[in-house]
């Protein structure tokens, strides 16, 4: 069974989510949250967590899954990586390609649902990378992990930095209300605005799947990857929830209760050398 077949039956959810991300791309291009003008002027969008996990990327072939409109991908290109970004939003990929041309950064951007990626991309990479708000859009982590393994060269490294599922279990007031554990059917949300601009004129549905940290680790192990590290962090680098407050520069934590729960986690895994 292919990864696409394993994720089958979810096309209606993929289509709804694709429409949402197409609309969000138009908002995000202008949002202060993303500061695209700052990026054009040379600002890197990478945070300390992913920089530490990735290490030196200069000269490495790097595949960035679910890259949105490519700011992190292009920031990695500025560090010397040979980058390929993948996303399922046509508007996001078009903007990523435009920004690459505008900034004269060498990058390839591929339009694809990641479960369909083997049909359009057939090579291996030194690094596979994905970060922040990526896993909830995936119904099947087993197929996802197999794809990560498939795209790594022997000895290659996978780096994931993600919002902790505990954060996703909190409601708008910061109280525990939503599930932590996975179910086959996604949670459906009536989305108003965007995490980057809550007042944006976007009103669409989103369908998201919950995955525990254990689900992530076991999927990667099951695909044949060796876990080198799993770290949990008590902050997120962005003000992406209403219940956050800035505890330190670049570190947003649970309002009134900093350093109490994990809000991001990072995983570094490696494919066997031979």
Confidence of residue 147 (pLDDT cuts 50, 70, 90): very high
Per DSSP (E only), the strands in the chain are: 61-65, 82-87, 107-111, 125-131, 152-163, 187-192, 203-208, 225-233, 244-248, 251-254, 264-271
Best CA proximity match to 115, nearest among 66, 62, 82: 66
CA dist., res. 29 & res. 7, Å (int): 30
CATH numbers and ranges of domains, the chain: 3-271 (3.40.50.150)
At residue 175, does pLDDT exceed 90? no
So what's the pLDDT on residue 3?
53
Q: Is 59 helix (H, G, I), strand (E, B) or coil?
A: coil
CA dist., res. 149 & res. 128, Å (int): 9
So what's the pLDDT on residue 8?
62
Task: Please compute the mean of the pLDDT values over residues 136-164 and round it to a whole number.
Answer: 97
Strands 125-131 and 152-163: parallel
So what's the pLDDT on residue 189?
81
So what's the pLDDT on residue 1?
46
- In order of 19, 23, 194, the CA distances from 202 in angstroms are 11, 7, 7
So what's the pLDDT on residue 172?
81
CA dist., res. 269 & res. 130, Å (int): 12
So what's the pLDDT on residue 2?
53
Lowest mean pLDDT among 42-51, 169-178, 203-212: 169-178
Task: Please compute the mean of the pLDDT values over residues 50-69 and round it to a whole number.
Answer: 97
Confidence of residue 230 (pLDDT cuts 50, 70, 90): very high
Residues with Cβ within 8 Å of residue 51, at least 6 apart in sequence: none
Pair 119, 147: CB distance under 8 Å? no
CA dist., res. 171 & res. 13, Å (int): 22
Task: Please compute the mean of the pLDDT values over residues 221-246 and round it to a whole number.
Answer: 95
CA dist., res. 11 & res. 175, Å (int): 32
So what's the pLDDT on residue 185?
87
More confident site: 6 or 31: 31
Q: Is 225 helix (H, G, I), strand (E, B) or coil?
A: strand
CA dist., res. 68 & res. 98, Å (int): 13
Lowest mean pLDDT among 24-28, 93-97, 136-140, 171-175: 171-175
- In order of 68, 123, 232, the CA distances from 86 in angstroms are 8, 14, 26
Lowest mean pLDDT among 2-6, 121-125, 263-267: 2-6
Best CA proximity match to 212, nearest among 129, 135, 270: 135
* Percent of the chain predicted with pLDDT > 70: 97
What would the pLDDT profile of 58-67 be if each residue is shown by its tens digit?
999 999 999 9
Total residue count of the chain as it appears in this document: 274
Q: What is the mean pLDDT of the chain?
A: 93
Confidence of residue 7 (pLDDT cuts 50, 70, 90): low
Task: Please compute the mean of the pLDDT values over residues 95-113 and round it to a whole number.
Answer: 98
By the 10 Å C-beta count (0-12 exposed, 13-18 middle, 19+ buried), 214 is classed as: exposed
Task: Please compute the mean of the pLDDT values over residues 166-193 and round it to a whole number.
Answer: 85
């Amino acid at each position: 069974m292919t990864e696409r077949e394993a994720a089958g039956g979810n096309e209606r959810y993929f289509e709804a989510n694709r429409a949402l991300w197409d609309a969000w791309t138009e908002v995000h291009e202008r949002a202060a949250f993303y500061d695209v003008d700052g990026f054009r002027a040379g600002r890197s969008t990478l945070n300390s967590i992913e920089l530490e996990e990735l290490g030196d990327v200069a000269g490495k072939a790097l595949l960035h899954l679910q890259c949105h409109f490519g700011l992190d991908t292009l920031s990695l290109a500025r560090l010397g990586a040979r980058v390929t970004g993948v996303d399922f939003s046509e508007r996001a990929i078009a903007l990523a390609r435009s920004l690459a041309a505008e900034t004269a950064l060498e990058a390839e951007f591929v339009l694809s649902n990641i479960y369909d990626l083997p049909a359009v991309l057939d090579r291996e990479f030194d690094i596979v990378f994905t970060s922040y708000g990526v896993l909830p859009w995936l119904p099947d982590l087993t197929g996802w992990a197999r794809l990560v393994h498939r795209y790594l060269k022997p000895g290659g490294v996978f780096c994931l930095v993600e919002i902790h599922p505990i954060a996703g279990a909190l409601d708008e007031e910061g109280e525990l209300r939503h599930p932590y554990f996975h179910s086959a059917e996604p949670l459906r949300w009536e989305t108003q605005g965007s995490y980057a601009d809550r007042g944006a004129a976007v009103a669409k549905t989103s369908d998201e799947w919950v995955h525990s940290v254990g689900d992530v680790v076991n999927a990667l192990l099951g695909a044949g990857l060796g876990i080198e590290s799993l770290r949990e962090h008590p902050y997120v680098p962005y003000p992406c929830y209403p219940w956050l407050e800035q505890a330190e520069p670049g570190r947003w934590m649970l309002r009134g209760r900093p350093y109490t729960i994990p809000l991001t986690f990072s995983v570094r895994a490696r494919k066997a050398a031979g």
